[in-house]
Chains A and B, each alone.
Chain A
Amino acid sequence: MVGNLAFVLLSAILVNNFLLSRFLGICPFLGISKQVETAFGMGMAVTFVMAMASAITYLVQMLLVQLHLEYLQTLTFILVIAALVQLVEVVLKKVSPGLYKALGVYLPLITTNCAVLGVTLINMTENYDFITSVVNGIGGALGFTLIIVTFAAIRERQATNKVYKSFEGFPLALVTAGLLSLAFMGFNGFNLKALLGL
């Protein structure tokens, strides 16, 4: 059981990373990756929303199956995510106005972050149980945080480098993201199951 959960967690973080192998949630990945500090804040906000969304949507899905309303899945999941993001926004505004300002429009945009909806839908299609769903959500979010912070650290260094005018800003960021993604493809050949003794 624990081994299985570790497998789900690690594969969500490294192998099936949302940003670099599933290509979900690219908007904040490029938007909030200029500073490590704000990138980490974004990662934490997404972690909270993803973990909570995984838990609540699991219960909602049970309700939907019970009432034969499976076709409302996307609609209700988005409702859950939107409410959670709103909650994060309200709390963050009070607790950390600086981070709230730094995240700006990208904070409410977590609602439309496809990585969040993606993780809840993947939980359902993979038929994960409650605990596994939450672990998958947390794993996906930690993978998101890991990459966005790494990427922000790289971009912080690039900011002081001299680059060609035509490469300044997003072009360079996209090339960097591509190389990072190539590096992470290496984890595909990683036999996690053997490593964990499953």
Chain B
Amino acid sequence: MLTAILTAVGLLAAMGLVFGFGLGYASKKFAVEADPRIDKIAAVLPGANCGACGFPGCAGYSQAIVTGAAPIDKCPVGRAKAVPAIAHIMGVDCKDADVTADVAMVMCHGGKDQCGTHFDYSGVKSCWAANQVAGGHKNCGYGCLGQGSCVQVCPFGAMHLNDSTGLAEVDPALCHGCGKCAVACPRGLIAIVPADKTIHVRCMSHAKGPDIRKTCKVGCIGCGICVKNCPVDAIDMQDALAHIDPEKCTSCGVCIEKCPMKTITGR
């Protein structure tokens, strides 16, 4: 009995040993020399494999950097930390590189109390499905449908649905600005904005002022008061919707005070 077990174990061990040595020899003989910088860059990248850079995962991106196919600042997730490290590994200057961190921002804050619904939606829990049903259940044709398609795709768990307002919200502390949610939103409500810019027009509706007043209490009516009051001329009107230029905005907060609809908010 014991010998049977021992011969079985011995045979398998011997076979494993022979194959192991054979493969070890083959891998030495057929070794492919990879650029050591690829592994080094992969180590400083976030490793979330979110694909926001446009390459298949962090390994794919680091390979593209080394072969010169990609610039060093394509990773929005690890931008602030990774870019100087990558620049150091590649031996290039990172002064021109875009190193500001980005976060996602839901550009709608017309919750249940501000913007009603014209019917109850109880279908599949997907904003894309909800958007197909009679133009969406929300009174505003541009507003957040609150079914959480963005929440589902977030690889960092930075998004959640606020039960009291029925809106999607971003936790800026967890958000890395990869932009997956922006793609997942059927109404294009999520913008990727620089993390240090805190003032935003939280409305994407291009509807006319009187129509907005009927549907939403916090929608942009296009009155232009913010444009007139901005001390640095950072705001302009684009198709009946206020737009803040993040390059010019100094986050002074005058527009937040002046906005009659409370559409403009700080974070």
Measuring CB to CB, which residues of chain A are less than 8 angstroms from any residue of chain B? Answer: 60, 63-64, 67-69, 72, 75-76, 79-80, 83, 86-87, 90-91, 93-95, 97
Contacts and interface: CB of A to CB of B under 8 A. Distances in A.
A60 B14 CA distance: 12
Contact of A69 (B8, B26, B31, B32): B8
Interface of A is mostly: helix
Contacts of B266: none
28 contacts: A60-B15, A64-B11, A67-B8, A67-B11, A68-B4, A69-B4, A69-B8, A69-B11, A72-B8, A72-B11, A75-B12, A76-B11, A76-B12, A76-B15, A79-B12, A80-B15, A80-B19, A83-B19, A83-B22, A87-B23, A90-B26, A91-B26, A91-B30, A93-B32, A94-B30, A94-B31, A94-B32, A97-B32
Question: Most chain-B Cβ atoms within 10 A of its Cβ — which of A60, A79, A80, A90?
Answer: A90
Given A69-B4, A69-B8, A83-B22, 4 more contacts: A79-B12, A87-B23, A90-B23, A90-B27
B67 interface: no
A126 to B, nearest CB: 24
Query: In which size bucket is the chain B interface?
Result: 10 to 19
B16 interface: yes
Contacts of A87: 22-23, 26
Interface string B144-179: 000000000000000000000000000000000000
A63 B7 CA distance: 11
Interface in B64-94: none
B23 A93 contact: no
Contacts of A64: 11
Nearest to A76: B15
Contacts of A76: 11-12, 15
A73 B31 CA distance: 32
A90 B7 CA distance: 31
Contacts of B23: 83, 86-87, 90
Contacts of A83: 19, 22-23
